[in-house]
Amino acid sequence: MQDTALNVVVMAAGKGTRMKSALPKVLHKLAGRSLIQHVLDAAVPLAATRTIVITGHGAEQVEAASATNGAVFVRQMPQLGTGHAVQQAVPALPEETGTTLILNGDVPLVRTETLRALLAASAGERLALLTVTLVNPAGYGRIVRTGDQAGGHVRAIVEHKDASHAQLAIHEVYTGILAAPTAALKRWVMALQDNNAQREFYLTDIVAMAVAEGLAVTSAQAGSETEVLGVNSPHQLAELERRHQADIANALMDAGVRLADPARLDVRGSLVCGRDVEIDVNCVFEGTVTLADNVKVGANCVIRGASVGAGAVIHPFTHIEGAQVGPGALVGPFARLRPGAVLGEEVHIGNFVEVKNSTLAKGAKANHLAYLGDATVGERVNFGAGSITANYDGANKHRTVIGNDVHVGSNCVLVAPITLGDGATIGGGSTLSKDAPAGQLTVARAKQVNLPGWTRPRKLAR
């Protein structure tokens, strides 16, 4: 029976030479999160007693990026193999009972369900290896079993270069992830030797130790190759990104979302869609994004941390961040909604309009070349082309309040703080620094001057 004490050890000390980057390998991003963050997030539901991250190359950066998960850090200096890495974690594993789960910080897509199955296979009593069956197992360590290869206990992990002809025909391979009784694991790793050509301590050598002790070595199978693939190069990172995005796209389509091209979608967070949602090509969704029923998103949009109400249309090349779009709203093309933008029902935000920290009530419109910052806009307002709220005085932000049914003409400047009363009309080209009364026309323009006989300056002759 598995003890309740669970330790999770994440190996994250490698340099990642083939990444050819100053950034530690485990901090490179996949679907908007670092590789190691994916791994730590997969382990969170397991409710481990302790999470230990083994760092080395770029230790300070890795530890800073992982600190929010409440992990304990140990350092592997120098890096002398996987077994040597786990040796560094032994002092932080005081329990003599329970289970320790070993994960790799560069294997980002392992699923929590798979880890649960591996822990169940170990049950705090057995060494359990996570394996996967590959069509092409070249380069991987083969799982050699006793008796029937399909159902016997694991007897050894044989590296590809050391495998016999018969062993090369085995398609079940070791993924680098295992679970073991904590006490036994501590005993085994401290007994590892570096008597090999690389002079490194290999964690896989503990399989032979367990077999020699008569302890059962069992396994759990990963659901797919994708969830146990590691990242060692930009090519592998890009390939895994595409695999992951393909899985997301398939899940969305299974739920009824219409994707114009599943290969041209990037979800870097969580995308929740209602019924009859349509998404065109080259759209990027970051953070938590919610699209309600019948939402249509045009091509080349970037939506981050936002919600879009039922029936809204987001036209192409629109950027939305930290905003709420109401039902039936029309946004874009080439519009930008910044944090704090809240659009009510049937609001229209047109091309080259920017909205920041502003609320627009039902039916308000800003259709062309406008800026609304720190504004409260009433119902049915029409905000003209080229008009802006001048909300910043160089030190502080100020608010503009626009009542219901206000019409703001083109090329107006509203110098905040300012209030436009219900039904006010602002003549085009006006610059207002005082409140505009409700129901009246307000015009604030410089007097037009015509100069007879004036001529343009001419270039001097050379």
Q: Give the pair of three-digit tokens for residue 291.
A: 């699209």
Give residue 150's pLDDT band: very low, low, confident or very high (50, 70, 90): low
Is the overall model pTM greater than 0.85, yes or no?
Answer: yes
- Whether 417 and 282 map to the same domain: the answer is yes
Tell whether 31 is covered by a domain.
Answer: yes
Question: Is the C-alpha dihedral spanning 21, 27, 30, 35 positive or negative?
Answer: positive
The last residue of one of the domains, among 203, 228, 253, is 228
| Predicted pLDDT at 221 | 95
- Whether 171 and 295 map to the same domain: the answer is no
Amino acid symbol at 215? L
The CATH number covering residue 389 comes to: 2.160.10.10
Q: Say which DSSP state 153 is in.
A: P
- Whether 167 and 41 map to the same domain: the answer is yes
Tell whether 452 is covered by a domain.
Answer: no
- Whether 435 and 290 map to the same domain: the answer is yes
Give residue 149's pLDDT band: very low, low, confident or very high (50, 70, 90): low
Among 104-108, 193-197, 294-298, 329-333, which stretch is predicted with the lowest mean pLDDT?
A: 193-197
Q: What value, to the nearest 5°, has the Cα angle with vertex 441 and ends 438 and 444?
A: 115
Check: CB of residue 81 under 8 Å from CB of residue 202. yes
β-pairing, 365-368 with 348-351?
parallel
What tens digit of pLDDT does each residue of 287-302 get? 999 999 999 999 999 9
Catalytic residue, from 153, 160, 368, 398: name it.
368
- Whether 128 and 195 map to the same domain: the answer is yes
Between CA 318 and CA 279 the distance in angstroms is 13
Tell whether 140 is covered by a domain.
Answer: yes
- Whether 13 and 111 map to the same domain: the answer is yes
- Whether 10 and 97 map to the same domain: the answer is yes
Question: Is the C-alpha dihedral spanning 192, 196, 198, 202 positive or negative?
Answer: negative
Can 368 be counted among the known catalytic residues?
Answer: yes
- Whether 186 and 242 map to the same domain: the answer is no
Determine the structural domain holding residue 343 and report its residue range: 234-442
Tell whether 152 is covered by a domain.
Answer: yes
- Whether 54 and 138 map to the same domain: the answer is yes
Between CA 126 and CA 189 the distance in angstroms is 15
CB atoms within 10 A of CB 149: 17
Tell whether 389 is covered by a domain.
Answer: yes
Per-residue pLDDT, averaged over 407-412, amounts to 98
What tens digit of pLDDT does each residue of 87-127 get? 999 999 977 789 999 999 999 999 999 999 999 999 999 99
The CATH number covering residue 21 comes to: 3.90.550.10
Find tokens 């259709």 and name the residue. 367
Tell whether 111 is covered by a domain.
Answer: yes
Tell whether 286 is covered by a domain.
Answer: yes
Tell whether 450 is covered by a domain.
Answer: no
The H or E element spanning position 208 is helix 206-213
The domain tally of the chain equals: 2
Between CA 249 and CA 229 the distance in angstroms is 19
- Whether 278 and 326 map to the same domain: the answer is yes
- Whether 357 and 218 map to the same domain: the answer is no
Q: Give the pair of three-digit tokens for residue 43.
A: 């382990």
